[in-house]
Amino acid sequence: MKYRDGFLIQLIIYSIIWLMSEYTGLLVCLIMAAVITAILIFSLVVEMIEKSKVPKSFFTWLFISIWPPIIVAIGFTIAYKGNFDWLNEFG
Name the pTM for this structure.
0.86
CA–CA separation, 35 vs 37, rounded Å?
5
Lowest mean pLDDT among 37-41, 74-78, 86-90: 86-90
Q: How far apart are CA 69 and CA 16, in angstroms?
A: 12
Domain coordinates in residue numbering, the chain: 15-83
The pLDDT tens digits for 3-52 are 899 999 999 999 999 999 888 999 999 999 999 999 999 999 999 999 88
CB-CB contact of 76 with 22 (8 Å) = yes
Give just the sign of the alpha carbon dihedral 60, 4, 82, 87.
Answer: negative
